[in-house]
Amino acid sequence: MSFPRASGILLHPTSLPGPFGIGDLGQAAYDFVNFLYETGQSLWQVLPLGPTGYGDSPYQCFSAFAGNPLLISLETVVEDGWLDGADLTDVPVFPADRVDYGPVIEYKTKLLWRAHENFKARAAEAAQQEYVGFTERAAPWLEDYALFRAIKDEHGGSEWTKWEPYLRVREDRALHFFRENHTQQLSGQRFFQYLFFKQWARLTQYANSKGIKLIGDVPIFVAHDSADVWAHPELFHLDKLGHPTKVAGVPPDYFSETGQLWGNPLYRWDVLKRDGYAWWIERIRAALTLVDIVRLDHFRGFEKYWAVPAGETTAINGKWEHGPGAALFKAIQKAFAAEQGRLPIIAEDLGFITPEVDKLREAFGLPGMRILQFAFGTDPQADAFKPYSYVPNSVVYTGTHDNDTAVGWFTAGVGDSTRTLEEVDEERAFVLKYLGSDGHEINWDLIRVALASVANTAIIPLQDVLGCGSDARMNVPARESGNWGWRYQAEQLTPSLRARLKEMTNVYGRDRHLLKSNEV
């Protein structure tokens, strides 16, 4: 669908400030919504919200449907009565600028289990009914997820392919026996989801009341070690023991000479097609209960995807295989009774994009993405990212969670790309010439170009608004650890920064207050 002219900020909730070691859905999240409102923004884009697994990555979640318990605000749990104020008086000293996931997980998990015990002992009938109502609505995915997490915890966190065969293949008697003997563990997992969804609903309602829409993120692939694959192995290319026979990745590109080996199991699209892509429809439906707009990650994989034989150590020896193409999007369109081109989806059409991928995206009126950091190099596709090539039905970013920050990209040399030093120097000179800049505020130069462009939607990572360097980068593709940790501090959102962002947003016709008055 074509979106109205607007702008917003990319920030995952884990990056919010606060005393508990990780950003959460408490007061800092509401303060950030107020920041968006005050600066004329209309959009808040987040990364996937699921419970993180390998490498703490939101793109490797234990479920495509569940929420991340680490995002639950402990202070809100106190307000709701399931923790006491005294429970939060002995908070460990966590880093303010990064998430140290191990200690955070240990600390928050202990308190969430305590809240579960208190809920069982204290909850009045109204709260109990609200909880039961949630579990009934979420039952199609919640029961498999709770069971998966409970069994996983019972096995010391080991992946499901290492469980006993009767649990691995979900024998009815074995699962029944486990449920009967682990009611507490199952109840706790359900309760954590209840807290997450209740807090998220409060936050999104507040954001919407301020005219702020949420953009979520749906990765095309799911983690192998997930409730989704364990509960629905027939939908994936697996062997008899549950191991993938071929996995996802991308061929050699800007980021890596050997490609990116993601390792996610690949879908059996022939099986998904038999019931009209029901699993995917429910996945999109679930996402749209959380957010207003969905960014569909790795859109090119729906046309063709890079399949790598299991056991390979790089992505070089993969091959292109056909995805579901238009059939999937027609099914989604029909399920949502949407008119042609009215799906609230942004297509992440980055990477090796062919005319067939463009044709698929355009057939459903989906806006594609344009990244300014890709606009100035020698890559053959660079021209497509130059602002003079944009069309209104597109979304421009200074960079994404996979890119370095604007300042880091401009100053750090080769970085994680496959460019040579000579190419970097040539690119840097061209950037300055294109922008008419001396580069001392390269982040604001790029923000100005993004906001001024004809693209209907402009999204700026908060790191670029703040002028952060490479140490604030959210993710380095193919790096196994050290990602997803950056956090900002509340005092960084100074009055002068707020005024500057608001003025620039207003000048280029994206201020939500101005847009609202024009609509009237």
Q: How confident is residue 418, by pLDDT bands cut at 50, 70 and 90?
A: low
The pLDDT of residue 423: 84
Is a pLDDT exceeding 80 seen at residue 464? yes
Neighbouring CB atoms inside 10 A of 114's CB total 15
The 10s digit of each residue's pLDDT in 167-224 is 999 999 999 999 999 999 999 999 999 999 999 999 999 999 999 999 999 999 999 9
Element (DSSP H or E) covering residue 37: helix 27-38
Q: How confident is residue 339, by pLDDT bands cut at 50, 70 and 90?
A: very low
The 10s digit of each residue's pLDDT in 238-266 is 999 999 999 999 998 766 788 889 999 99
Q: Out of 159, 348, 416, 464, pick the active-site residue.
A: 348
Is a pLDDT exceeding 90 seen at residue 308? yes
| The length of the chain, given as a count of residues | 520
Which residue matches tokens 């609509």? 519
Q: How confident is residue 413, by pLDDT bands cut at 50, 70 and 90?
A: low
Name the CA dihedral angle for 269, 323, 231, 477, rounded to a multiple of 10 degrees: 160
The pLDDT of residue 414: 56
* 402 catalytically annotated: yes
Element (DSSP H or E) covering residue 304: strand 304-309
Q: Out of 80, 87, 402, 423, pick the active-site residue.
A: 402
Tell me the torsion sign for CA atoms 85, 90, 92, 96: positive
- CB-facing half-sphere around the CA of 519: CA atoms within 13 A: 9
CA angle 278, 361, 349 (to 5 degrees): 100
Is a pLDDT exceeding 80 seen at residue 514? no
Q: How confident is residue 338, by pLDDT bands cut at 50, 70 and 90?
A: low
| Residue 406 and residue 443 in contact, taking contact as beta carbons nearer than 8 Å | yes
Is a pLDDT exceeding 80 seen at residue 515? no
Is a pLDDT exceeding 70 seen at residue 128? yes
What phi and psi, each to the nearest 5 degrees, are found at residue 320? -80, 135
Work out the average pLDDT over 376-396: 92
| Residue 116 and residue 154 in contact, taking contact as beta carbons nearer than 8 Å | no
Q: Out of 297, 303, 464, 511, pick the active-site residue.
A: 297
* Higher-pLDDT residue of 357, 254: 357
* 379 catalytically annotated: no
Strand 368-371 to 345-347 pairing? unpaired
Is a pLDDT exceeding 70 seen at residue 416? no
Cα end-to-end distance, the chain, whole Å: 22
